[in-house]
Each structure stands twice: as structure tokens, then as C-alpha cells.
A and B are shown apart, each in its own frame.
Chain A
Amino acid sequence: MSLIEIQNLSHHYGGRQALDIESLEIEGGRITALLGPNGSGKTTLLMLIGQLLPVQQGNLLVRGKDMAKAPAAVREELRRGTGFLLQTPYLFKASVERNVAYGLRVRGQDRKLIPARTEEALNEVGLEGFGDRPHWALSGGEAQRVALARALVTNPRTLFLDEPMANVDTVSRAVIERVLVDRNRSDGLTVVMTTHDMDQAYRLADHAVTLQGGRIALSSMENVFHGRIYRSAESWVFDTGRLALAIPSGHQQARTAAVPPEVILVSRDLSQTSALNTLKGKVTGIRERNGSVDVAVEVGETMTARVTDESYRRMGLGLGEEVYLIFKAEAVRLY
């Protein structure tokens, strides 16, 4: 079961429709990026799944519970298992320590344990010794890191972030990215974040959803893998542990690889090709889109190739059939 399941979810501000999503699922334990320009509806979607906006129309299931019908107590309980970071963080008019401890206090945590946990959270975001500082004596980046520590101090299962790296300095950006990835890898923290920075989404996210005018756009990020790079006899290789991709040289520091679905050829036979990546696998999913078809193929990792309606009909693909995915090393984007 997905962490979040959405069916025909729409949201209006006054008479203006801000969101209209037919179908969307967000898996737990992953980093999901909501991409899109300003006004695309990504913050509204984040607020809805973060229980900060009521469901107006449609179905929103969080951990299998329908948020439109769930009693306030259930929604509050779910909210207590999450953390939320607003784009421009609001720090309460108090010390940094009081700010970070807020979530612990409202949960009735043992007061004796609060200082140690607060200090631990501040250390995690690189703000050791900041506890006594007043809220107004922080830079924008420091304030964002305090807000991140405040959201993480309760050890939430899910963290929602609205443009967390907008308006912060490079040091704070690096710290925030590191903390998100560390928490995701070590604790299985589910991260859902909005961003308009495609590079950042590729760098951090396992999955991305692109919004345009309140709807999910067709160009959502697919085939993003995290792994390491080594040199083989034939070429440079990006290895996820379950899949090895030939890649171009000059990206030794990259940790994320992405293969746009549009550049992948699907073939029943391994015809002569100069492409270094020829991956054999079984079709595990077929999804028709507007004018094209997404074919999911298990090749160690699940990769999605996008073919035209015509190609799909001509090939007569079916679930479980063996196919080859073919693409050049230069088609692999590295971050």
C-alpha cells in the first residue's frame, strides 16, 4: 500500500481551481520531489497531503485512511507523525532552543529529556551552541536549518518541505540536503518536497512529480537511480547495486543517474546497435498516456521507456514479455 493515494483530487481558492489531480501515489521511505513553476499547485498539494488544508473534493488516502472522512482526531494523529517545513520558515518569538523544542512540548514529552534532544537536533543541522540565541539573531539559512531541526526533533515518519532550499546560502543548502538524504537512508524517513530546481530534484529524489497548472504534467521524472561510479575495461559505469549503466566520462563525483524515458528504445530483438546500454528485462507495467505509452521493464531496477501509441500497437507488447531497452551512454544524465 502506498503512503499516499490520490484519486480525482481538486482544490479551489475562491472560484479559482488550484489543483486537479486524476491519480497519484507516493511511496513511503522515498524522497519524492514535486516539481513545477510558481502557481503550478505543488504547495497546495503538499499542504493537502500534510493535513494543513482540508480536502474539498476527491479522495486523499494517507496510510489507507480517507482524509475527507477521517475524524479530526485521526487527522491530528497523522499530522503528529509528520514534520512540515514552510518555504519561509516562521520562528516563534523565543530562543532557538524553545523553537526547536516546540514539537516535543506540544506532545507532552518528558521535560528532562527535551534539552538533550533539542541539542542533538541542532547538532544534526550544524548549529551547535545556537540554543540560547534569540529567534531574530539568525540569517535566512540558519533560520531554515533551525526550522528543519524543529521539524525533525520529534523523529517524524514523513517530512514535508516546501521549497526548503529557496532563499538559503550554499552552506545551508548543502547541510539541508545532507540531513534529508541521511535521514532517508538511515531511518527510512519519507520526504516529500516541492522544488522548481530540476537539478536538485535529480540529485536528491527517488521519484518526482511535475505539476503544471494544477495538473500532473507528462514529463515527470522517471528512471532516477542512486549509486556509485567506477571504471570498467570498456567504459565508465554507474552501478546501483542491481543495475550497471554505461555512462560518459567526466562525471566521477556524481551519485545520481537519470535516464529520460523518451530516449530509451524498446525492442524485441537485440539488433545491431552502437549504444552501450542494452538491457534485457521483462515488461512489468504498461500505462497509456495521452498519445504515448509508458512501458515499465524490470532490468534489475524498474526502468520506464516511453513509446508512441503507434509503436506500442505495432510491437503488440504484453505484460511478462521479454524486451531489450537500448540507449546510449550519453543519454544518461548524471548529478
Chain B
Amino acid sequence: MGLATPASEHPTADYAACSGCALCLLVCPIWRQTGDVELTPLGCSKALQFGAAVEALAAAAQWCNLCGACAPVCPERIDLVGLMRSLRRQLPPASIDSEPTARQPLITQPAVRQRLGVGDLLVIEARSYHADYQPRVELYDALRRETRCMLNLDLQRIAIPARLPAPEGHDYACDDLAQARWIVLGRAIERIVVEDPADCSVFERLGRWPVISVEQLAKEAC
């Protein structure tokens, strides 16, 4: 399986192309928790179109967790992740975030797949998934059909991240527990399996289901 997004799907445009359709807003975890358009790539794009200075977008740059959910849904193929990265580089304290991993996810291993089943909620690591969106949509769709596990995908097939940043000095109570509750809402879960081991603690705090990482599943398989 090739893990390369087709060239036709690559983001190529900049913020000036934003039509304001707000499809990116729907999938932005920061907007979902704060309801504040200004903290989103949409808000940044429209503000920049209207002549805002980069400095005025500091809060949005701080809040963005670079999960990349916005990029694959943009019909104008705007490089929204690139925009947010660029803002973070330009604004103090300058921070350059590591690129998402491009390696094959562990769930491609047959032994791991065999250990997933009905009742498992697999929490996909959002950044890697969105960075290589179309191939991974197909990969995880096949996984779901094969194992009948549940996935933390929304109706647009965007991965809902489990953890959010909480910059200091802001009014919003943005917390990981609320995010985790949203992921599990209404699902008939027996076990939670996370791709990113750092997500374990968030779901463990819910205190209702056993939580295991895919890495641990892989070790068990060995």
C-alpha cells in the first residue's frame, strides 16, 4: 500500500483563496471547544484577507495543535497547516513543531489487526492521519470493515484528536477530558486502543474502559 497522497489532493493555494465555506471550522477541535472563530484557520485566513497584521493572530497560533484536520476538507486546497506553522514560526515564542510521522502505522501489521474487534474503539493519531489523508482514509476504512472496530472519525472521515493545547492567559476552559468524552459519546465501547501512547492517560481518566496502546498490542502479538 502506498502511503502517498495523490498530487491532485495536495494543498496548493494560500489564504487569499479562502471562500469562507467554513468546512474547516466543522472539524477544528479548537473551535468545537471554544466556539471562537478567531482561533481557527478560517478566522486567520479571513482576517489576513482583510489586512490583519500577523501579530494580531498570536492567540490562534498558540491555540492551534496542528492536528491538520482542516487541510483535507478544504475545497480550495489551501495549505492551512502551512499557514498555522508559518504563524507559529513568526510569533513569539517562536516554535517549530515536528512534522508528523510518515511511517506505516502499526495497524498495518496483520498480528495487530487480528487483536482488534467489535467493541474496540481505535483512537487514530490525528496528525499523521491528516498529513497523508486519502491513503489513510482507505487504510482505516478497510481496517474497520475487516475488524468491525470503531474509529474516532467524524462524518467527514476526519480524526478527532484526543488532546488539545491549553495556552495560559485565555478565558476558555479547553480540556482533554471534554474532548475524550466527545470521542466516546454514544458508542458501545468495551476497550479503547490508542495509536499515540500519550493518549492513554486521557482515556484512563474517564475510568470506564480498559485502555491499551497499539504498541502494546503489537508487543503482545510478538
Decide whether A and B assemble into one complex: no
A interface list, Cβ under 8 A from B: none
B interface list, Cβ under 8 A from A: none
